[in-house]
Amino acid sequence: MGRAQELESLALKLPRRERARLAQRLISSLDRDTDTDAERLWIEEAERRLDELKSGKVAGVAANKVIKKARSAVR
């Protein structure tokens, strides 16, 4: 068994949350050319949207309604 296979075997035994964290870090390590300005802008946009939801300025839409609408648009 190679080293990567051994690591994979050990990683798959981790709790779900730790596997997710590990997967995210591994994927991030592949993307060395991250546009920090774009990342900052996405974070600001997410925070702006969260503030709008919390303040009541906009209302959330149930996921099942969004999925139903998206599926009907694709047909």
Predicted pLDDT at 17 = 92
42 within domain boundaries? yes
Cα–chain-centroid distance for residue 51? 19
Model confidence pLDDT, tens digit, residues 16-74: 999 999 998 898 888 777 677 888 899 999 999 999 999 999 999 999 999 999 999 99
Query: Is 25 contained in some domain?
Result: no
CA–CA separation, 39 vs 17, rounded Å? Answer: 23
- Provide the number of structural domains found in the chain: 1
The pTM for the full model equals 0.46
Domain range for 67 is: 36-74
Residue 11 confidence (pLDDT) = 95
pLDDT band of residue 5 (cuts 50, 70, 90) is: very high
